[in-house]
Amino acid sequence: MTSAVMTPTFVANSRCECQATLTAQLTEDRTVVAGSALLIGKREPAPAHSIHPEREVFDIGFLCPFCGRNVMRTFAASALTRTGRPAA
């Protein structure tokens, strides 16, 4: 264990084929700490994980709780929405 606090500082959003909005909360090093999906006002937890988060362009895999699809989306680290400060 490290002493690093797993505080999400970025959020990545995408859209599933079933129109659910998939959201992943990421730490500064782009590790997913929480995923969720929103469809017609209903939010459900969605398992999500990042693949090669050390790269500038990396993938996040979501498991959509509404349709059961495995959704892979590519994100550019520099384009992620920042929601918090980096851990001091």
Residues that bind Zn ion (CB under 5 A): 16, 18, 20, 64, 66-67
Q: In whole angstroms, how close is the CB of 52 to Zn ion at the nearest point?
A: 23
Q: In whole angstroms, how close is the CB of 51 to Zn ion at the nearest point?
A: 19
Q: In whole angstroms, how close is the CB of 14 to Zn ion at the nearest point?
A: 11
Angle at 52 between CA 47 and CA 58, to 5 degrees: 80
Q: In whole angstroms, how close is the CB of 43 to Zn ion at the nearest point?
A: 13
Nearer to Zn ion, 20 or 60 (CB): 20
Nearer to Zn ion, 28 or 47 (CB): 47
Look at the block and give the residue holding tokens 């909005």.
21
Nearer to Zn ion, 20 or 26 (CB): 20
